[in-house]
Amino acid sequence: MKKLLKEISLIKVGFQSRKGIRMDPEGSHWLIQAKDFDKQRQIRWSNLARFSPIGGTSRYELKLDDVLFLARGQDNFACHIDRDLKATVVANTFYILRPNQEMVLSPFLAWWLNQTPAQDYIKLRRSGGSLPFISISALLQLEISIPTFEIQNKILELEKLRKQEANLTASLFEKKSVLIEAVSLNAINE
């Protein structure tokens, strides 16, 4: 089944502040920014900054199964929120998607938005110069291929295994590098 994004998800812009955001280690809220993601496009939760917003934030606060979409910049990607959050918002360079869970699983939607067909669509519809962005209206017209829930779950399991393999490969590479450096330095000192 194919549906437009606007048919399966609500979408809104991340937290906006008229007076700017000042970080405060004792702040009441956490802020997710583009710099808080690793190479696997996963949030590094320990990197989040705190701040105390001025005005209400309830409409911007993230929930379990939201999908974040980085709308500004050269690398537009999606990330599924897989945990319950308290007092956490995302910067306005992101869109917050709230998929209809009766039609599509949130992690599947995030996965789909990162795939070549969606990325090609996004690249063709971005505007702006050095910091391109895709508008909400353009993103809402993106066509999503939605398989059965059984197939969505199988795809997500494969993706989970791919990420585990990537993490193991990176860890192995790092350990090999340390070993080679130690052996090489040891050979010099003999």
135-160: per-residue pLDDT in tens?
A: 999 999 999 999 999 999 999 999 99
Task: Tell me the C-alpha distance between 176 and 18, whole Å.
Answer: 49
Torsion of CA 39, 44, 47, 51, to 10 degrees: 120
Task: Tell me the C-alpha distance between 101 and 140, whole Å.
Answer: 17
Beta bridge pairs of residue 29? 51
3-state SS assignment for residue 20: coil
| Average pLDDT of the segment spanning 74-94 | 93
167-189: per-residue pLDDT in tens?
A: 899 889 999 999 999 888 888 98
Across the beta sheet with 78-80, the strand order is 9-13, 94-99, 67-70, 78-80
Is the pLDDT reported for residue 5 higher than 80?
yes
Q: DSSP letter string over 157-169?
A: HHHHHHHHHHHHH
pTM equals: 0.86
Residue 23 — pLDDT band, cuts 50, 70, 90?
A: confident
